[in-house]
């Protein structure tokens, strides 16, 4: 029987895993409720996304005609009692909060197959991460108003005895009327409950917005409280104003060091540019203090401070924005800089490319006539050291030396390689002849590598990677598994077989997995993994689980398998 794609409404085979017309992934849940509403009253309109716990759908109440959001527990974890308990806890916590800046829970119920779902208010709008990706930084007044509303919503959550623990741009929705709604209490906890540990490791939330308390920097006997959410909201506000978070790193370990260190020289307090009001700098510095006793005592106090800053703005300050690059280049691992000033490098690169292009054009226009000898370019060559010949079968030790060739309008460097075979240096060859003059041309731009799904990374970016992989791998039923350990291979094969995927060495789709698990003692473990899926010789999916310590949770293969089941469904 045909199935209607919820995005483009084309008639497709209901066994398809993705629509062949628009690429929309089709889930088992959508197929199951294609002909009948969920629980007899919620008709699926579209899939909005998926999180660590559930799949999220936009639905219509068939009797009331209202639009709602249904969140259903993911089938991959539907058999987990821990997952069901956490899902139920989210619903029970949500019923405690009624506030205009917090999304409203309307219903919670079970389905005949034993799974559960919850019904949330549908928010017409975008989250702050989507807005920044589309439009860049926020004007000052707008950023202050939205942050103050979020703080008021947090105050209501805290007064209900709940800590959100995952305040981030993705969890702050903005409606068309410029009103903030806090969403996703999936990792929230009641204040009377000890810090929860989920199946994904010791930390729940996003490292970029984590407070020191999120990362376990607490004295004995202390527990996380609402001041951790204040810290996270301060990080979000800084990013709304500047386009980047106040503390940056290239690995979970660096984030832990930067966010948890109490030493100012390791993680200096972020400073807003001089164009921002000094009183705002004071407010942000207090919200982002690593010592929670020096932060605002409550989210309501933080909101009042932000509202006071907004009231004091004059017209020249009200619409001010800081023009920084929204997505800065990754920090090199050898230079873990916490803050960077805006660079003029892009302008210089563009200028150099323009000069090179002008040189090429001039060379073409000045092509000599047949009766005239060609005009040779002026070249000055300075050779600091000759380049030796490398024996074909020698064992090499590479030592960087520089050979510099300078031409008019161009300077290039190449490494000089010396070799060592059996602890003796290879004889140097004769110096190379001077290079022939070549008109400089711009270097070709390398093809970008495929983005990776990063465990615990940006939710929107990960969702985009998953959807791209699902389209590329739609209809896959046979795969080959290549792992660095036979245990991982067997484990992945068992999981794939459970999901009706045949494992065969001659399959066109090959899964490459490289995992590491180290037991540190006293219940502590360290895990990491990288993986890729290659289809017909082309990489269509990459996965990264960066090195991290944990006590309770999945091993590397199990963590990858959870994502793999979404990719191949």
DSSP secondary structure string, 104-162? PEEEEEE-TTS-EEEEEE---EEEHHHHHHHH-SPPHHHHHHHHHHHHHHHHHHHHTTE
Instruction: Compute and round to an integer the Cα radius of gyration of the chain.
Output: 29
Do 137 and 241 form a contact (C-beta atoms < 8 A)? Answer: yes
3-class secondary structure, 362? helix
Ramachandran quadrant class, 216 (left: phi over 0; alpha: psi -120 to 50; beta: rest): left
Is 219 a known active-site residue? no
Nearest CA among 539, 525, 551, 536 for reference residue 453: 539
Q: Which residues contact 198 (CB under 8 A, 6 or more apart)?
A: 52, 86, 187, 204, 553
Helices (H) and strands (E) in the chain, counts: 13, 23
Compute the mean pLDDT over every residue in the chain, rounded to the nearest whole number. 74
pLDDT at position 250 is 67
Do 338 and 267 form a contact (C-beta atoms < 8 A)? Answer: yes
Report the C-alpha gap between 127 and 285 in whole angstroms. Answer: 25
Pick the CATH number of 129-338 from 1.10.510.10, 3.40.50.300, 3.40.50.1240, 1.10.1750.10: 1.10.510.10
CATH topology of domain 37-121: Phosphorylase Kinase; domain 1 (3.30.200)
pLDDT tens, position by position, 327-382 = 343 333 333 333 333 444 444 545 556 666 666 555 555 554 444 444 444 444 44
When pLDDT is averaged across residues 27-40 and rounded to a whole number, the result is 84
Of 142-156, 183-197, 273-287, 454-468, highest mean pLDDT: 142-156
Listed in order, strand segments (DSSP E) in 379-537 are: 379-381, 401-407, 410-416, 420-421, 424-425, 452-454, 478-483, 502-503, 509-521, 524-535
Strand 172-175: give its sheet, edge to edge: 125-127, 172-175, 180-182
List the catalytic residue out of 166, 184, 289, 566.
Answer: 166
pLDDT tens, position by position, 267-307 = 566 777 777 888 999 999 999 988 899 999 999 999 999 99
- H or E element that contains 42: strand 42-50
Do 556 and 464 form a contact (C-beta atoms < 8 A)? Answer: no
3-class secondary structure, 537? coil
pLDDT tens, position by position, 204-255 = 457 788 888 877 777 777 888 999 999 999 999 999 998 888 877 666 677 6
Q: Is the pLDDT of residue 500 over 60?
A: yes
- Domain edges within the chain: 37-121, 129-338, 455-567
Do 565 and 52 form a contact (C-beta atoms < 8 A)? Answer: no
The torsion angles phi and psi of 39, rounded to 5 degrees, stand at 55, 25
Report the C-alpha gap between 7 and 10 in whole angstroms. Answer: 8
pLDDT tens, position by position, 108-166 = 888 887 778 889 999 999 999 999 999 999 999 999 999 999 999 999 999 998 899 88
Pick the CATH number of 455-567 from 1.10.287, 1.10.1060, 3.30.70, 3.30.160: 3.30.160
Percent helix, strand, coil in the chain, to 5, is 30, 25, 45
Angle ∠(277,283,285) on CA atoms, nearest 5: 105
């Amino acid at each position: 029987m045909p199935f209607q794609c919820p995005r483009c409404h084309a008639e497709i085979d209901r066994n398809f895993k993705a629509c062949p017309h628009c690429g929309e992934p089709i889930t088992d849940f959508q197929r199951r409720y294609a002909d009948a509403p969920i629980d007899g009253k919620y008709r699926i309109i579209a899939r909005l996304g998926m999180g660590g716990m559930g799949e999220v759908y936009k639905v219509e109440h068939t009797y009331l005609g209202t639009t709602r959001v249904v969140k259903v527990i993911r089938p991959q974890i539907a058999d987990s009692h821990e997952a069901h308990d956490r899902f139920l806890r989210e619903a029970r916590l949500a019923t405690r909060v009624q506030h205009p800046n917090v999304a409203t829970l309307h219903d919670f119920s079970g389905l005949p197959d034993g799974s559960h779902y919850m019904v949330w208010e549908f928010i017409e709008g975008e989250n702050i991460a989507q807005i920044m990706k589309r439009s860049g930084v926020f004007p000052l007044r707008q950023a202050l108003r939205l942050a103050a509303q979020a703080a008021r919503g947090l105050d209501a959550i805290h007064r209900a005895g709940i800590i959100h623990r995952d305040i981030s741009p993705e969890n702050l929705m903005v409606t068309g009327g410029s009103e903030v709604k806090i969403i996703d209490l999936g990792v929230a906890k009641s204040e009377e409950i000890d810090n929860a540990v989920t199946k994904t490791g010791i930390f729940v939330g996003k490292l970029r917005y984590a407070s020191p308390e999120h990362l376990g920097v607490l004295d004995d006997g202390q527990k996380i409280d609402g001041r951790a959410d204040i810290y996270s909201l301060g990080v979000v506000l800084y990013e709304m104003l500047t386009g980047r978070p106040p503390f940056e790193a290239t690995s979970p370990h660096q984030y832990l060091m930067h966010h948890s260190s109490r030493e100012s020289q390791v993680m200096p307090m972020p400073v807003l540019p001089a164009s921002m009001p000094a009183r705002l700098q004071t407010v942000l510095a207090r919200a982002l203090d690593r010592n929670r006793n020096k932060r605002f005592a409550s989210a309501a106090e933080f909101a009042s401070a932000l509202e006071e800053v907004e009231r004091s703005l004059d017209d020249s300050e009200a619409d001010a924005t800081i023009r920084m690059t929204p997505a800065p280049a990754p920090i090199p691992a050898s230079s873990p800089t916490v803050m960077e000033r805006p660079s003029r490098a892009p302008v210089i690169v563009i200028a150099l490319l323009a000069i090179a292009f002008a040189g090429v054009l001039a060379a073409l226009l000045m092509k000599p006539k047949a009766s005239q000898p060609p005009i040779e370019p002026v070249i000055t060559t300075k050779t600091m050291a000759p380049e030796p010949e490398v024996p074909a079968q020698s064992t090499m030790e590479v030592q960087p030396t520089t050979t510099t060739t300078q031409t008019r309008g161009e300077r290039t460097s190449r490494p000089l390689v010396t070799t060592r075979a059996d602890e003796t240096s290879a004889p140097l060859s004769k110096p190379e002849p001077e290079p022939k003059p070549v008109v400089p041309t711009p270097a070709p731009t390398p093809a970008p590598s495929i983005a990776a799904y990063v465990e615990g990374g940006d939710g929107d970016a990960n969702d985009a990677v998953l959807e791209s992989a699902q389209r590329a791998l739609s209809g896959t039923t046979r795969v080959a598994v290549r792992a660095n350990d036979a245990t991982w291979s067997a484990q992945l094969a068992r999981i794939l077989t459970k999901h009706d995927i045949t494992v065969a060495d001659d399959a066109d789709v090959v899964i490459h997995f490289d995992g590491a698990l180290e037991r540190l003692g006293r219940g502590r473990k360290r895990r990491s993994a990288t993986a890729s899926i290659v289809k017909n010789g082309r990489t269509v999916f990459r996965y990264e689980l960066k090195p991290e310590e944990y006590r309770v949770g999945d091993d590397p293969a199990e963590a990858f398998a959870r994502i793999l089941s979404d990719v191949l469904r």
